[in-house]
Amino acid sequence: MNTHPFYAILFSVYLFKVNIFMNISPPPITSKDVAKLAGVSQSTVSRVFISGSSVAEKTKKKVFEAAKTLNYRPNAFARSLTTSESKLIGLVFPDADYPIHMKTLQLISSELQKIGYSAVLIPWMVNEQEQHSIPNIFQYRVDGVIAASATLNKSLYEECEEFNIPIVQFARVVEGTKGSHVISDNYAAGQIAANHFYHCGVKSAAYLTGNVPTFTNDERNAGFSSEFEDLTGQKTCVIEANYDYLDSLEMIRTFLSENKNTDGIFCATDNLAMALMDIARLEFGLRIPEDIQVIGFDNVPQTEWLNYQLTTFKQDFKRLARESVKIVIDHITKKETSLVKLMIPATLIERKTTQYKR
Amino acid sequence: MNTHPFYAILFSVYLFKVNIFMNISPPPITSKDVAKLAGVSQSTVSRVFISGSSVAEKTKKKVFEAAKTLNYRPNAFARSLTTSESKLIGLVFPDADYPIHMKTLQLISSELQKIGYSAVLIPWMVNEQEQHSIPNIFQYRVDGVIAASATLNKSLYEECEEFNIPIVQFARVVEGTKGSHVISDNYAAGQIAANHFYHCGVKSAAYLTGNVPTFTNDERNAGFSSEFEDLTGQKTCVIEANYDYLDSLEMIRTFLSENKNTDGIFCATDNLAMALMDIARLEFGLRIPEDIQVIGFDNVPQTEWLNYQLTTFKQDFKRLARESVKIVIDHITKKETSLVKLMIPATLIERKTTQYKR
DNA sequence: CTGAAAGCGCTTACAG
DNA sequence: CTGAAAGCGCTTACAG
């Protein structure tokens, strides 16, 4: 992997500027302007834009019309200042470019949109130096936080507690934090994987995982190993590699060369599963599923690729998103004052890296 | 791909609730509280939190101390209401779970963080039905918008124009919109690809692209075809497939079976390149790079995988993020009133799908 | 350098 | 159902 100086001559930065006519912004339209045009008081205009207020139909119509002609939008800052609700939910996401998260972000933000909330990004742990700085967005007093980062920063947590901001953890549980969470049923997924391996005739199974221990991961392993032992009487072993594809290779290599009789590996992530597949096939000449069977977790797009066709678990992210939004809103509105711990089943997607034998 | 009813018995939803003590939120600390404790006026407190105001060092210290003991945070809503600046930048992102975008989001939001701004998500085109609804977040009057969606909704654009909100397009240019943008130098990248193929002895080259025509893509193709023709006298051909891996397969298959002598393919995305590699190897028994050479675009993590080792282009996202933030801020502060069109070079990363022959 | 006061654009009791 | 008025927590001329 190198860049050839040869091409350097072609490199340069082009910058075009085009003069455009920049309007001076007209003074923004306020409820007063609308009131004047509609011939009502400012408070009436305000009421029209609050659902549930008692306003005569006729008045409502007049106001909406005036608002439309003036292109009026209520100023959320003024509203938030008086109501002390921001209608903003902070989102904390991992910086790993894990493809699953972008879709999740979209799901959550559109769920929020539906109920009148908006999503703001909380950049966390982006820079080691400014680790202790409070993200600017906290000045806006988000009403709640949804966190999908595996390494939830402790200070974020304390910040939320300090200001009594409800926080719900999405698809993961961070050790040492108490708070609501909605996750997939990892223990059951582990059981299902073991069960599937059993029906595929796997005799010697292993769980391939990353380097950072997480609650969800431990659960999966626990379900897997206990179920596999129940069914076969065999203990499973654990391979601790690395969540990064490239960094996991060496550990997988070592394991495969030392454990020739392992014929079924359940992997903590699809990326690990695909690393395993690549090494097994390219370096050990193993056939999948004939020589070794593989189950992944996540159902990333690559699992469907011709070269992989990986049997894996699909998490119900749509449901996870919907539930996490519901929970955080219930906390905000005090409809729910208890911690909520919700588990959603994950589904096994059978492709071609496993094969029934009995 | 199917789910076995067999496992249905294991499926169920678990829900735990734990009663927790929910504090009634104490009245929030305001600048008045700080003023009282520090023995100064409220306006002085306000000044202390505005950089550049002239406040005596001694006063400043007193105020900071008082603020710290009370755990005071200025209320951004009140500030925004008076200054009519939100310090919020809206981010429009594609819903495709393209791994590159998550990292980009992080880069942009941390750049914004540095200069006192925050990123809010603008969910766009999430639901076909509510296409015309204005995202809630617009009630907060974002100061600017950074859009990385290839299919920038027209109404978003009009919304921004209506309210005079500067918008900069990130890494792509949407047809029919005028606005600032910062993109990679796609034409030059096309030239570099052609040049590289030439030095790798490619005789008959093609450009493999998706179904949606985009400006950046056309540029890349133009640079590629003109440079390749200049160097070899040969015209290149274009294969129009699909940006989705699975949907692209059939077109690639057809092309490969009809064009046996093509020995170099430049692909609009890495995903297309890897789809091509999978089909070429698994279905046509072609060796890469011996029989056919491949160049991708994006440098997604999978390009480094053992099975691919794809020669590809890496866009300088860090720089793109920094520049797009700079441009949008310059527009907001009126430091820049012209449209800015900035191009950043992309770098060829040579791996194992191409090989020098001369 | 500092304080008193007006004002940003809303919501919300309070009357009527 | 509607209006007048107070108040949310800041910033910012204006004096001093």
CA within 13 Å, CB half, A43: 2
Strands B167-170 and B144-147: parallel
Find the Å distance, CA of residue A43 to C1' of nucleotide D4.
9
Q: Which nucleotide is nearest to A72 (CA to C1')?
A: C9
Query: Across the interface, do B279 and A306 touch by the CB < 8 Å criterion?
Result: yes
Q: How far is B298 from chain A (nearest CA, A)?
A: 13
Give the residue from chain A lying closest to B310, CA to CA.
A1
Element containing residue B265 per DSSP (H, E): strand B264-267
- Positions in chain C where some atom is under 7 Å from a protein CB: 1-5, 7-13
Whether domain B88-184+318-344 has CATH 3.40.50.2300: yes
Is the four-CA dihedral A57, A62, A65, A66 of positive or negative sign? Answer: negative
| Whole-number pLDDT of residue B28 | 85
Q: Is the pLDDT of residue B21 over 80?
A: no
| Whole-number pLDDT of residue A95 | 62
Query: Across the interface, do A102 and B106 touch by the CB < 8 Å criterion?
Result: no
B301: its two tokens: 């993590």
Q: Kindly report, residue by residue over A252-301, the tens digit of the pLDDT.
A: 999 999 999 999 999 999 999 999 999 999 999 999 999 999 999 999 99
Does the CB of B41 sit below 7 A from strand D? no
CB atoms within 10 A of CB A81: 17
Q: In what order do the strands lie in the sheet with A205-209?
A: A237-240, A205-209, A264-267, A293-295
Q: How far apart are CA B150 and CA B266, in angstroms?
A: 21
For residues A176 and B113, the answer to whether their CB atoms sit within 8 Å is no
Contacts of B66 (CB under 8 A, 6+ apart): B34, B37, B38, B72
Give the residue from chain A lying closest to B223, CA to CA.
A10
Query: Superfamily assignment of A88-184+318-345 in CATH?
Result: Response regulator (3.40.50.2300)
CATH 3.40.50.2300 placement within chain A? 88-184+318-345, 186-316
Does the CB of B43 sit below 7 A from strand D? yes
For residues B254 and B218, the answer to whether their CB atoms sit within 8 Å is no
Q: How far is B106 from chain A (nearest CA, A)?
A: 6
Q: Is the pLDDT of residue B26 over 80?
A: no
CATH of domain A186-316: 3.40.50.2300
Query: Across the interface, do A14 and B118 touch by the CB < 8 Å criterion?
Result: no
Which residues does chain B have within 8 Å of residue A197's beta carbon, measured at their own beta carbons?
none
Q: How far is B54 from chain A (nearest CA, A)?
A: 23
Residue of A165, A199, A299, A306 for testing the chain B interface, max B β-carbons within 10 Å: A306
CATH 3.40.50.2300 placement within chain B? 88-184+318-344, 186-316
For residues B125 and B153, the answer to whether their CB atoms sit within 8 Å is yes
CATH 1.10.260.40 placement within chain B? 31-83
Which candidate, A122, A144, A212, places its Cα nearest to that of A174?
A: A212
| Whole-number pLDDT of residue B228 | 98
pLDDT band at A142 (very low <50, low <70, confident <90, very high): very high
Q: Is the pLDDT of residue A39 over 50?
A: yes
| Whole-number pLDDT of residue A330 | 94
Residue B116 phi, psi (nearest 5): 85, 10
Query: Across the interface, do A25 and B123 touch by the CB < 8 Å criterion?
Result: no
Which candidate, A204, A281, A286, A283, places its Cα nearest to that of A250?
A: A283
Find the Å distance, CA of residue B15 to C1' of nucleotide C9.
43
**DSSP letter assigned to residue B131:** G
Which residues does chain B have within 8 Å of residue A99's beta carbon, measured at their own beta carbons?
97-99, 102
Q: Is the pLDDT of residue B114 over 70?
A: yes
Q: Kindly report, residue by residue over B36-63, the tens digit of the pLDDT.
A: 999 999 999 999 998 877 888 889 999 9
Contacts of A221 (CB under 8 A, 6+ apart): A190, A207, A209, A238
Which candidate, A350, A341, A314, places its Cα nearest to that of A169?
A: A341
pLDDT band at B19 (very low <50, low <70, confident <90, very high): very low
Find the Å distance, CA of residue A80 to C1' of nucleotide D16.
36
For residues B183 and B214, the answer to whether their CB atoms sit within 8 Å is no
Q: How far apart are CA A107 and CA A317, in angstroms?
A: 8
Find the Å distance, CA of residue B27 to C1' of nucleotide C9.
22
Q: How far is B300 from chain A (nearest CA, A)?
A: 10
Across the range A198-223, mean pLDDT stands at 93
Query: Across the interface, do A121 and B102 touch by the CB < 8 Å criterion?
Result: no
Q: Kindly report, residue by residue over B185-217, the tens digit of the pLDDT.
A: 999 999 999 999 999 999 999 999 998 888 889
The architecture in CATH of the region A31-83 reads Orthogonal Bundle (1.10)
Does the CB of A47 sit below 7 A from strand C? yes
Q: How far is B348 from chain A (nearest CA, A)?
A: 6
Q: How far apart are CA A28 and CA A46, in angstroms?
A: 16
Q: Which nucleotide is nearest to A44 (CA to C1')?
A: D2
C-alpha pair distances (Å), B91 with each of A283, B23, B210, B324: 44, 35, 25, 11
Q: Which of B14, B192, B345 sits opposite A343 (nearest CB)?
A: B14
| Whole-number pLDDT of residue B150 | 62
Which candidate, A117, A111, A125, A129, places its Cα nearest to that of A90?
A: A117
Query: Across the interface, do B3 and A348 touch by the CB < 8 Å criterion?
Result: yes
Query: Across the interface, do B95 and A87 touch by the CB < 8 Å criterion?
Result: no
Q: Kindly report, residue by residue over A217-260, the tens digit of the pLDDT.
A: 999 999 999 999 999 999 999 999 998 899 999 999 999 999 99
Residue matched to tokens 């302007």: A33
Which residues does chain A have within 8 Å of residue B178's beta carbon, measured at their own beta carbons?
20
Does the CB of A56 sit below 7 A from strand D? yes
Find the Å distance, CA of residue B79 to C1' of nucleotide D15.
24
Query: Across the interface, do A22 and B134 touch by the CB < 8 Å criterion?
Result: no
End-to-end CA separation in angstroms for chain B: 47
B286: its two tokens: 């072609």
